[in-house]
Amino acid sequence: MDIPVANVIIQVCFNYGSRMQEAQRLGRILRPKQSAGSSEYDAFFYSLVSKDTDEVVQNDARQQYLIDQGYS
């Protein structure tokens, strides 16, 4: 996959990556790029989390870290 032109990331497992690695992935997907025929920039980052597991708590902490880093 050509990451510079990708506009969607689906993260399936994040237990073995650091919060900084996740921030890097998010930063890469948010780099400015134009959609074909549009002047708007679109980027989507999805993280799949199993309900009622420790992943939920870890995901909340990661989201808070990204918010603290300035991501909305």
Residue 37: the pLDDT is: 58
pLDDT averaged over 10-residue windows placed end to end, the chain, 72 residues = 74 74 79 62 83 87 86 75
Rg of the chain in Å (alpha carbons)? 13
Residue 39: the pLDDT is: 53
Domain boundaries, given as residue ranges, for the chain: 3-68
